[in-house]
Amino acid sequence: MPLINLIIILVVVGVILWVINNYIPMQANIKKILNVVVIIVVVLWLLSVFGVIGNIANIRVG
């Protein structure tokens, strides 16, 4: 994946998260949970893109 695509995806995810946090009324606890989930998903995706972990499709839970 080219670096410019990676940067564009990260910017889009950041803007979407910012819009949700600022313009959609939610309880603070729900916003915190949403932020943590998005950050974990993005970090796992980045680790997969850079080859630190294997393909995410091969990860099985349970």
The pLDDT assigned to 50 comes to 85
Q: How confident is the model at residue 44 (pLDDT cuts 50, 70, 90)?
A: confident
Residue indicated by tokens 């916003």: 31
Tell me: pLDDT of 1 over 80.
no
Mean pLDDT within 43-50? 88
Tell me: pLDDT of 14 over 80.
yes
Work out the mean pLDDT of the chain and round it to a whole number. Answer: 88
Domain ranges of the chain: 3-58
The pLDDT assigned to 52 comes to 83
CA–CA separation, 4 and 12 (whole Å) = 12
- Of residues 25 and 1, more confidently modeled: 25
